[in-house]
Amino acid sequence: MLRAISALILENISLLAEFETKEIGKPLKESLFVDIPLAAQCFDYYAAFLEGLEEKSISTEGGIDLIKYEPYGVCASYLPYNVPLMIFGFSCAGALASGNSLIIKPSEFGSLSILELAKHFDKLDIPKGLINIVTGKGETAGKYLAQSNIDIISFTGSRNTLKKIVSLTKDYPKKIICELGGANLTVVFQDADKNAAIENISGSSFMKQGQMCIGTSIALIEDEIYDDFLRQLLEKAKNIKTGDPFDATVGMGPLVSKEHLNSIDMHIKDILKRGGKLLTGGKILKQKGYFYPPTIIEIENMVYEEFFAPVLLVKKFKNNQIQSLVENNPTGLVLQVWSNNLAKAKGLADIACCGTVWINTFAQMSPQTPFGGTKLSGWGRNLGSAGFFEYVQPKHIGIGLAKSPVEGWFGV
């Protein structure tokens, strides 16, 4: 079944990618070559994972202990708008592989691709009702789903929504695997490969118009290289073409909604009021559509907030400050470190409070590697073997073959 879902995704990829781009605005090349193929790989991965899975039996003095894995039951999977099918792969492949049934709640801003895919589910040889989709607004459909008789929640979205879901489920507490966002740092040491760092910071800040949970929020640049590095970074950002996301030469399409566009504008004004220095961008583009330009702002004080927008904050650091700057961020989901000194980079990776650290790379992720946050960026994992065991509960069955531990306890 998992392999059949993967095949369905790949057979229909052109239309699915077109829908994600039309509805969300991210460039077609991102939907077509990155996001949706990765969704398909997740289902193939868990099919292979199951083939290698063995349930345990342990022989003890008293008998045999079996440990089997059981699903929770009905899993409600909340998807965010920016990568609907990718997160369908991240959360639902593991949930299905472990035997749960699904009620998927896509975002009201990103439902088309999953609904298109769902048209084909009935052709598969799977029980009716195994995979269900509920569309609608978060504060109505999403709310009622959280309060319904489900057994486990896999939530990918913002911290504010998670808080609401936690309070909605307080009378019937259930396990929540939550994948949130945060202010992700990228550290560039003076011994870094500067061209590669600039390419990857631009990519991680401005792909999907910055609507990416793994995007760079703040680039911390060592003071010895700061001015030159920043000059090149600005040049790169200013050259990104904004426009029709179906045009292959375009780097950034429109934002998802007018509300998001306006909220970014307000957020930027607020950062500038708080002392940020605007270096490029920073104003809604006067063209039809919800376009915001690549924006770079220099800051003195750290801002641990997620913009989810094409906005990059930059800050200079001295070598003796970097450890505390990285350690003090409770919101990071990922960290990038750029340095030719692997031991130094690994040192930062070890103390960083986040689920993923990339050293001299960005977005190096696959269905084999666990993905998730720590502290304010979430808990629980999708993908990898960890992403299977999140969705099961082990059951212990002890079979007595000798005298049981309580026999004769009372002496009567």
Q: Which residues of the shown chain bind ligand NAD in the complex (CB under 6 A)?
A: 78-83, 87, 105-108, 138-139, 142-143, 146, 156-158, 161, 164-165, 179-181, 213, 306, 308, 333, 378
Q: What is the DSSP letter of 131?
A: E
Of 105 and 236, nearer to ligand NAD (C-beta) is 105
Least distance in angstroms from the C-beta of 154 to ligand NAD: 10
User: Which residues lie across from 41 on neighbouring strands?
Assistant: none
User: Which residues lie across from 133 on neighbouring strands?
Assistant: 104
Asked if residues 81 and 74 have their Cβ atoms less than 8 Å apart, the reply is no
Of 22 and 344, nearer to ligand NAD (C-beta) is 22
Of 260 and 316, nearer to ligand NAD (C-beta) is 260
Least distance in angstroms from the C-beta of 211 to ligand NAD: 7
Least distance in angstroms from the C-beta of 66 to ligand NAD: 34
**In the annotation, is 213 catalytic?**
yes
Terminal Cα-to-Cα distance of the chain (whole angstroms): 56
The closest of 74, 210, 69, 36 to 151, measured between CA atoms, is 74
Q: For residue 399, which phi and psi values (nearest 5 degrees)?
A: -110, 115
Which amino acid, residue 55? E
**In the annotation, is 179 catalytic?**
yes
- Give the SS3 label for residue 207: helix
* CA torsion through residues 61, 66, 72, 73, sign: negative
State which residue has the least CB distance to ligand NAD: 181
The closest of 354, 362, 349, 358 to 379, measured between CA atoms, is 354
Which amino acid, residue 382? N
Least distance in angstroms from the C-beta of 145 to ligand NAD: 7
Least distance in angstroms from the C-beta of 404 to ligand NAD: 47
Catalytic residue of the set 42, 178, 213, 353: 213
Of 81 and 226, nearer to ligand NAD (C-beta) is 81
Q: What is the DSSP letter of 110?
A: B
Least distance in angstroms from the C-beta of 354 to ligand NAD: 11
Of 225 and 333, nearer to ligand NAD (C-beta) is 333
CA 292 to mean position of chain CA atoms: 23
Q: For residue 69, which phi and psi values (nearest 5 degrees)?
A: -105, 130
Catalytic residue of the set 20, 23, 30, 179: 179
Of 96 and 256, nearer to ligand NAD (C-beta) is 256
Least distance in angstroms from the C-beta of 59 to ligand NAD: 41
Give the C-alpha separation, 186 to 202, whole Å. Answer: 11
The per-residue DSSP string of 361-405 comes to -S----TTS-B---GGGEES-BSTTHHHHTTEEEEEEEEE-S--T
Of 157 and 322, nearer to ligand NAD (C-beta) is 157
Asked if residues 232 and 198 have their Cβ atoms less than 8 Å apart, the reply is yes
Asked if residues 396 and 67 have their Cβ atoms less than 8 Å apart, the reply is yes
Asked if residues 178 and 168 have their Cβ atoms less than 8 Å apart, the reply is no
Listed in order, strand segments (DSSP E) in 225-266 are none
Give the C-alpha separation, 289 to 380, whole Å. Answer: 37
Of 133 and 198, nearer to ligand NAD (C-beta) is 133
Least distance in angstroms from the C-beta of 319 to ligand NAD: 30
* Residues recognised as catalytic: 179, 213
